[in-house]
Amino acid sequence: MSAQATSSAYDTRTRILDLGEQFMLARGFNAFSYQHIAKELEVKPAAIHYHFPSKEDLGVAIIRRQLNRLHKWRGLPRVTELTPTQQFDALLEVYHGRVTERQQVCFFGALAADFQTLPEAMQQELRTFTTELTEWVAGVLAAGREAGTMHFRGHPVSKASQVLTTLAGALQVARVYDARQYERIVAQLRTELLEPA
């Protein structure tokens, strides 16, 4: 296991994950194939099977990587040192990136529609990811309300669910209509949360 061989394998593996993720967020899990990825990478479909024997393996790896990203991101000093309001805006930034870059949705929005056709392992992985994200947001909201900079009723977890649900839906709206619809929904959400009634 030399450094070079590892690096080369890692590169292809990563590029497969990147492309798979891109396709998944753009068109859903069932609407892309190993052929699509292989064509982009200029290799044969069987080469993808070498790295990820089944499509389920690939799907699980894509979601798991995103969970790792979340863990790293929420632990970064430039994130932990922010005020709750700034953390909330940092979250909005991430979602905003999906709209402007390509017409992508979030993982939840991309996979929920196809959910019943997904392999069990992917279903479980998506549940884990969503649970962890919701809990982080709930923590931010609770801290914000305590600091007096955020205003909402009910349990922080309920509000966090509602916020993430709205954001997931808003990305879908951006795809079906345009980015302006998205901006409107997020502005509405932000106003209600941050400006005292």
Q: Which of 26, 28, 47, 82 binds DNA (CB under 7 A)?
A: 47
Nearer to DNA, 47 or 67 (CB): 47
Comparing CB distances to DNA, the nearer of 121 and 157 is 121
Local structure of residue 144 (DSSP, 8 states): H
DSSP string for 43-88? S-HHHHHHHSSSHHHHHHHHHHHHHHHHHHHHHSHHHHTS-HHHHH
CA distance 99 to 92: 11
Binder among 43, 67, 79, 194 for DNA (CB under 7 A):
43
Residues 116-145 touching its own copies, rule: CB under 8 A, are: 116-117, 123, 126-127, 130
For residue 40, how many other CB atoms are within 10 A of its CB?
A: 14
| Residue given tokens 């400006």 in the structure block | 195
Q: What does 97 interact with, of DNA, its own copies, none (CB < 5 to 8 A by kind)?
A: none
Distance in Å, CB of 13 to DNA, minimum: 7
The residues of the shown chain that bind DNA, judged by CB under 7 A, are 1-2, 4-6, 8-9, 12, 32-36, 43-47, 49-51, 53-56
